[in-house]
Chain A
Amino acid sequence: MKIFNSIKWRLQLWYGLILVVVLAGFGFTAYQLEYGRQMRRIDGELHLRFGMLANALHESMPRPPNRPRFGSPPDNQWPEDRPPRHNPPPQKFVLPDWAARFFDATNRYGYYYVISRDEHELDRSTNAPVEDHDRFARNPNYINAPPTLPRNEPPVEYNGEPVTDADLKNQRFAAGQPGSAWQRGDFREIVTDLPSGEWVVIGKNITPELMELHRIGLELTLIGGIILLLGLAGGGWLVSRAIKPINEISATAVKISAGDLSQRINVAEAESELGQLAAVLNSTFARLETAFAQQKQFASDAAHELRTPVTVMLTQTQTALNRERDAESYKQTVEACQRAAQRMRRLIESLLELARFDAGQEVLKRMHFDFSKTLSDSIEMVQALADERNVKIISEISPLEITGDAERLAQVVTNLLTNALQYNRPGGEVCVKLNVQNGLAVLEVADTGQGIAPENLARVFERFYRADSSRTGAGNAGLGLSICQAIIEAHGGSIAVTSQPGSGTTFTVRLPVA
């Protein structure tokens, strides 16, 4: 057996694959959620710093004379007065100390740039990465960087309220809205377009966070691997458990095929599918065993029935040959041998007849005939026996024609009548009835004999079964009723027996009329 043809291994394989997919899905989702959480946290931090920086800038930025200080325009002319981008000269910011502390060299992770409208760098924290700020404009392929810096459109809504021109004029949004975040390499940055025209880039080196995420990824992979291994082991155990009854069934079947028909599968869980299968197999095995036992019993019985006449012939001839005899003794010996041989012949004929019925080789003649006449003929035939045994035959026969094998059915009738006479008491009666019930021809033969004990009633049609457990005469091998049953069933009919111990037995034959 190739390993992948084994159900166990195929189940394991599929189970393992599904487990891998599920674990990978969970792991990926968990990683993504964690990643998003980290990034939101960083972005929140950046926004916070942006707020501080924006305030600091707002407070400390020197003001050009022709330009209102943003955040508090002196008059209503600000939007119209907005200077062109290239116009103002580069200016320097000076961060107050408290704000600068967040961005000095001791703080490795936060930095900022301030870029003027004409894309000159106005200021940068000491810890900002060395790359040139105008990489945004010049290198559109820069990882994760937008091709151009975002322009802040004037907000149309703030805190759920529409923004009016008056709001804009009041510079309610002087500090500007923080822009969106992006990531380049180990840095996460927020670029904000200030209403005053500058860009502020707040960034953070997120190497520790990325390392943390990396570690989480590794942990997830490791945990996933362990779960996979545990799952595979558990799955293997489960599959083995599930397969075990199959192995038991198979082992039992092997023993049975080796000839030990008494073996049965141990049905531990009768309710499970395999338990039901085992129960079905067990009942099949039981039927097989019964069939085999019956076959064996049949052969043994047949041999047994032949032994007695053979013994008679042997002892008769050996006795006769022991010494010289007169003609009369030889004649007696020959007669006894003939009786024994006749008995064997009848037995062999019966056996062959049954064998033909069993094999379905017995060809029935199908003809339309007068069954009531067959019945009266048979009664006439056994009348001599009835007189001899002092039994009265009473018949209630309705005229009836049926289709079937007249000779075979006559055999059945004669057999039933002979039995009814033989097992009757002297002075008893045999009652024969023939009529039609529900479209079936019904023949009843009832005697007034000893009857049959209920426990033996089911066995009367068994081959070689005799109700009185001994021979009642040569030639009665206990096959007569078996043959009757075979004939009736070959006609599509049925034969049944009822008995009252002590008062009599009734055989009922039902035959299709057509």
Chain B
Amino acid sequence: MAEIFPNEGLDLIYGIVPKGATGPANTWLGLFTAFTASTVGTSAAVIASWSEVSVAGAYVRQTIASSSWGTVGTTQSGRGSGAAQVTFATATAVWGTANGFIVASGATGGAGVVWFGANFDDTTAVVINTNDVIKVTPTWVYTG
């Protein structure tokens, strides 16, 4: 499993600490189809690089409230936390093959800044077909 804070996400974090910008009340969860089930984008990746699932067939990004993040604990690669699970609406068309999730800065699919991207923890690509219903648990890991 791979994960990354791309440069644009690091820039946002840098703006908050140490530069003092106000942190967001929410982030948004999306699914990406680029790369593989065990690889993610490079530091230079931007939203277009991730090939997010198209906004069709009832796919929309899901809100992650900042208050929904759980206890921060030690992981294999640093300090991490998981947020409350989000359930996507039933797919009304084929969404394609998802290799992982992104945590983005806005609700509009295919737009905004990616804070963080990661594969699913079982490093398995998932084909999301019509009538599938999925739950995703966002995670976020800072490596030291």
Partners in one complex: no
Chain A residues packing against B (C-beta within 8 Å): none
Chain B residues packing against A (C-beta within 8 Å): none
